[in-house]
């Protein structure tokens, strides 16, 4: 019997071990880091962490349990949440590549989600989701629960049919309280792997950083050829600068680019490899503009050599990945791959780049630079203007599928709060300074007017104008509403924010296709190969509204409270007063006063009392003398009167 029991115990352990191995094979976690030098002596760092797990599993070893509960409870098909500080510089850092198009976000918090629920339950599900995310990431995302803070785009933001909600908080401050929960979703957190180099001061002292969480679930509807799974992508995009800003100067007077390394950027290097990650890789990318300039200098970039005439790498790369020949004249980007598995445990190298030759280049730009600004003055009305400035004549611009004489298609999506009452019928279009008919430029327009204190206003617009246009300007007039005193924020005099507008170019696709011999299983590079619509965000507008004098209510409240206190204090004193008791108190006070006076006189004037006692012995004689004198005077007076009367 004992032998049989041992047999079944060993069999159960083997079965459980086998099951664990299957789960490990189904759950996949990868971590990657992309480094790219920028023309203005800064470095773009892009972290990409990806989790993949089966959809119908209930217990996970690597996938975050909190995210799985979100998907199951709120039936989320797609969701994206971003925390951003700073604004991406499209002119210097580029706008036509997968990183700047997909991972660059507007300042503050941006959240959008697609739900697989009936239409009448979407708003309620959205509210519950905002509260859950607010507690999960220690942020004020719950402010998006109100209908005055989110909108329901139709086709201007994402080409998704139904169940889409979009909201943004431009003024939300981003701090370490937000990135700590974000890092806790990783299997190794920030104790090992690439996340171990994320030092908080180095990130928040940078010029731009955006942490993003993208969730995709496939499993609510069974489709042929689609594997039911949950994909969680965590990305962190930051523009940083080396702590050593020593720029070397050559004999020709030209400044070299700043040399940098991982330690000089983040203040530390990776501690150790995350053993739970399937792959851990670092990529160093040279963009098209830089490769084009290096090719003109005759620099060889196809080999894995760490040294050439233009720069030197501190670590020999594992291999070189190149893009397929493109139709651009700038050249093809080159990616150096450094596999962390090749390094010995505990001895990870500090990857860096040292420049030898001064090089000037420009990043690839989007077809048009987008800007948004306010016009007008005063606290009553104004105008919103959106400008599209062509980059055709500049260095490093690109427009796909556009020939001379054809038209460029641009999609504009803009959300405005209810207190900014936009008059959409005042829309005007100017091309190169000349006014144009709206019907000739605007191909499609969808407007959701705002309702006071109920819902926001949204505008979705498709523009088509000639490809040779250098400047396109859209203007709309608006009135400024009045808020109740309870609706003003603590810093009301600073103004009110209008979220960034989203500008997309459907004819332009931001993607990179690599050579087949360089095929890699990197999830990040696979994502770069997917064709996606080019996106660009405008500035956040600051609208000043009529603000009351908040000191006047304080003064009125203070005076009113003082008057009421005096009135009710006197009234209560009169009602609670006891007359008999007060009389006894006054009598006792008078008696104490009478007794106190002699005591004080006895102590202060003892000599006066002695002098008062001595004349008491001679008092009878003095009285007799006074009486005698009085009688004499009386008799003399009578005599004088008698003499005058009878004389």
- Phi first, then psi, for residue 150 (nearest 5°) are -135, 165
Q: Given pLDDT bands bounded at 50, 70 and 90, which one contains residue 350? A: confident
Give the lowest-confidence range in 233-242, 297-306, 540-549.
297-306
pTM score of the predicted model: 0.81
Considering Cα of 403, then 405, then 406, then 409, what sign does the dihedral take?
Answer: positive
Structure tokens of 145? 């629960």
Could you give the maximum distance between any two Cα atoms of the chain, in Å?
A: 170
Asked if residue 230 belongs to a domain, the reply is yes
pLDDT digits (tens, 9 = 90+) for 233-246: 999 999 999 886 54
- Nearest-CA neighbor of 464 among 427, 426, 437? 437
Q: How far apart are CA 174 and CA 138, in angstroms?
A: 10
Asked if residue 65 belongs to a domain, the reply is yes
- Taking 90 as the threshold, does the pLDDT of residue 152 lie above it? yes
SS3 164: strand
Q: How far apart are CA 390 and CA 600, in angstroms?
A: 103
Let me know whether 221 and 264 are in one domain. no
Let me know whether 166 and 247 are in one domain. no
How many domains is the chain partitioned into structurally?
3
Let me know whether 155 and 255 are in one domain. no
- Taking 50 as the threshold, does the pLDDT of residue 618 lie above it? no
Let me know whether 212 and 250 are in one domain. no
Q: What is the CATH number of the domain that holds 376?
A: 2.60.40.740
- Taking 80 as the threshold, does the pLDDT of residue 249 lie above it? no
Structure tokens of 418? 């209810």
Residue 350: CB partners within 8 Å, gap ≥ 6? 261, 262, 263, 269, 314, 315
Let me know whether 141 and 153 are in one domain. yes
Task: Pick the last residue of a domain from 216, 240, 264.
Answer: 240
What mean pLDDT, rounded, does the chain reach?
A: 83
Mean pLDDT of 130-135: 96
Q: Given pLDDT bands bounded at 50, 70 and 90, which one contains residue 509? A: confident
Q: Which residues of 287-308 are buried (b: 16+ CB within 10 A; e: fewer)?
A: bbbbbbbbeeeebebeeeeeeb
Let me know whether 443 and 531 are in one domain. yes
Let me know whether 227 and 101 are in one domain. yes
Task: Pick the last residue of a domain from 490, 519, 543.
Answer: 543
> What is the secondary structure of 85-143 as a DSSP string?
ES---HHHH-SSSHHHHHT---SEEEEEEEE-S-GGGHHHHHHHHHHHHHHHHTS-GGG
Structure tokens of 344? 């010995």
> What is the secondary structure of 14-71 as a DSSP string?
HHHHHHHHHHHHH-EEEEEEEEEE-TTS-EEEEEEEEEEEESS-S--SSS-HHHHHHH
pLDDT digits (tens, 9 = 90+) for 64-96: 999 999 999 999 999 999 999 999 999 999 998
Asked if residue 280 belongs to a domain, the reply is yes
Q: How far apart are CA 335 and CA 320, in angstroms?
A: 6
What percent of the chain clears pLDDT 70, i.e. is strictly above it? 80
Report the DSSP beta bridge partners of residue 370: 388
- Taking 80 as the threshold, does the pLDDT of residue 226 lie above it? no
CB 292 within 8 A of CB 333: no
Structure tokens of 322? 């190149």
Q: How far apart are the first and last CA of the chain?
A: 170
**Of 210 and 579, more confident:** 210
Let me know whether 379 and 356 are in one domain. no
Let me know whether 352 and 378 are in one domain. no
Residue 402: CB partners within 8 Å, gap ≥ 6? 367, 408, 467, 507
Q: Given pLDDT bands bounded at 50, 70 and 90, which one contains residue 571? A: confident
Considering Cα of 489, then 493, then 496, then 500, what sign does the dihedral take?
Answer: negative
- Phi first, then psi, for residue 159 (nearest 5°) are -85, 70
Asked if residue 195 belongs to a domain, the reply is no
Let me know whether 325 and 373 are in one domain. no
pLDDT digits (tens, 9 = 90+) for 20-30: 343 444 899 99
Mean pLDDT of 241-269: 72
Quote the domain boundaries for residue 155: 51-185+205-240
Considering Cα of 394, then 396, then 399, then 401, what sign does the dihedral take?
Answer: positive
Asked if residue 261 belongs to a domain, the reply is yes
Number of DSSP helices (H) and strands (E) in the chain, helices first: 15, 26
Mean pLDDT of 106-113: 96
- Taking 60 as the threshold, does the pLDDT of residue 423 lie above it? yes
Asked if residue 399 belongs to a domain, the reply is no
Q: Residue 500 gets which letter from DSSP? A: P
Residue 541: CB partners within 8 Å, gap ≥ 6? 372, 373, 374, 384, 497, 498
Residue 294: CB partners within 8 Å, gap ≥ 6? 286, 301, 310, 359
**Of 253 and 345, more confident:** 345
- Nearest-CA neighbor of 233 among 185, 281, 286, 267? 185
- Taking 50 as the threshold, does the pLDDT of residue 1 lie above it? no
Let me know whether 384 and 513 are in one domain. yes
Q: Given pLDDT bands bounded at 50, 70 and 90, which one contains residue 258? A: confident
Q: How far apart are CA 457 and CA 422, in angstroms?
A: 8
Asked if residue 13 belongs to a domain, the reply is no
Burial class (CB in 10 A: 0-12, 13-18, 19+), 252: exposed
Let me know whether 417 and 529 are in one domain. yes
CA-based radius of gyration for the chain: 43
Task: Pick the last residue of a domain from 483, 517, 543.
Answer: 543
- Nearest-CA neighbor of 72 among 88, 54, 87, 46? 54
Asked if residue 249 belongs to a domain, the reply is yes
Q: Which residues of 449-487 are buried (b: 16+ CB within 10 A; e: fewer)?
A: ebeeeebbbbbbbbbebebebeebbbebbbebeebeeee
Q: How far apart are CA 120 and CA 111, in angstroms?
A: 20
């Amino acid at each position: 019997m004992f032998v049989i029991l041992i047999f079944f115990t060993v069999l159960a352990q083997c079965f459980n071990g086998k099951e664990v191995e299957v789960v490990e094979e189904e759950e996949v976690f990868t971590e990657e880091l992309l480094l790219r030098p920028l023309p203005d002596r800064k470095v773009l760092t892009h972290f990409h962490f990806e989790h993949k797990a089966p959809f119908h599993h209930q217990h996970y070893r690597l996938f975050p349990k909190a995210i799985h509960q979100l998907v199951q409870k709120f039936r989320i098909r797609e969701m994206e949440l971003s925390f951003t500080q700073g604004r991406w510089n499209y002119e210097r850092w580029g706008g036509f590549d997968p990183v700047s198009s997909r991972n660059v976000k507007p300042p503050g918090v941006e959240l959008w989600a697609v739900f697989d629920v009936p239409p009448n339950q979407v708003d309620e599900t959205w509210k519950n989701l905002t509260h859950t995310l607010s507690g999960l990431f220690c942020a004020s995302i719950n402010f998006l629960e109100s209908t005055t803070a989110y909108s329901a785009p139709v086709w201007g933001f994402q080409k998704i049919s139904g169940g889409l909600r979009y909201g943004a908080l431009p003024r939300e401050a981003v701090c370490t309280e937000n990135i700590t929960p974000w890092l806790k979703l990783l299997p190794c957190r920030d104790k090992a792997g690439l996340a171990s180099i994320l030092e908080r001061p180095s990130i928040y002292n940078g010029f731009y950083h955006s942490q993003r969480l993208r969730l995709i679930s496939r499993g609510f509807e069974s489709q042929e050829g689609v594997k039911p799974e949950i994909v969680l992508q965590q990305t962190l995009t930051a523009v940083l600068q080396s702590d050593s800003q020593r720029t070397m100067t050559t004999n020709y007077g030209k400044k070299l680019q700043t040399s940098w390394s991982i330690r000089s950027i983040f203040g530390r290097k990776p501690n150790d490899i995350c053993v739970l990650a399937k792959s851990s890789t670092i990529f160093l990318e040279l963009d098209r503009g830089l490769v084009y300039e290096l090719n003109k200098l005759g620099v060889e970039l196809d080999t894995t050599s760490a040294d050439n005439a233009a720069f030197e790498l501190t670590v020999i790369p594992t291999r070189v990945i190149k893009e397929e020949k493109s139709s651009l004249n700038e050249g093809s980007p080159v990616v150096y791959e450094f596999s962390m598995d090749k390094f010995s445990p505990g001895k990870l190298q500090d990857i860096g780049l040292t420049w030898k030759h001064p090089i000037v280049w420009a990043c690839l730009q989007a077809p048009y630079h987008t800007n948004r600004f306010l016009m007008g003055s005063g606290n009553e009305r104004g105008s919103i203007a959106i400008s599209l400035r062509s980059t055709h004549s500049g260095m490093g611009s690109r427009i796909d599928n556009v020939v001379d004489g054809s038209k460029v298609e641009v999609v504009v999506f803009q959300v405005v709060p209810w207190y900014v009452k936009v008059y959409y019928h005042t829309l005007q279009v100017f091309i190169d300074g000349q006014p144009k008919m709206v019907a000739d430029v605007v191909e499609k327009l969808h407007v959701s007017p705002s309702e006071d204190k109920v819902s926001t206003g949204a505008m979705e617009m498709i523009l088509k104008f000639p490809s040779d246009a250098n400047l396109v300007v859209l203007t709309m007039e608006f009135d400024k509403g009045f808020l109740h005193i309870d609706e003003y924020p603590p810093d009301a005099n600073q103004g009110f924010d209008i979220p960034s507008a989203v500008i997309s170019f459907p004819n332009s696709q931001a993607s990179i296709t690599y050579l087949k011999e360089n095929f890699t299983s990197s999830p990040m590079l696979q994502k770069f190969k997917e064709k996606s619509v080019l996106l660009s965000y405008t500035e956040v507008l600051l609208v000043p509204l009529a603000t009351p004098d908040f000191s006047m209510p304080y003064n009125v409240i203070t005076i009113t409270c003082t008057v009421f206190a005096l009135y009710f204090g006197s009234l209560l004193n009169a009602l609670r007063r006891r007359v008999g008791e007060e009389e006894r108190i006054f009598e006792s006070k008078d008696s104490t006063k009478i007794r106190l006076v002699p005591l004080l006189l006895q102590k202060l004037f003892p000599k006066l009392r002695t002098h008062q006692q001595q004349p008491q012995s001679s008092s009878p004689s003095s009285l007799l003398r006074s009486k005698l004198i009085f009688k004499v005077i009386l008799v003399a007076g009578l005599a004088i009167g008698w003499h005058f009367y009878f004389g």
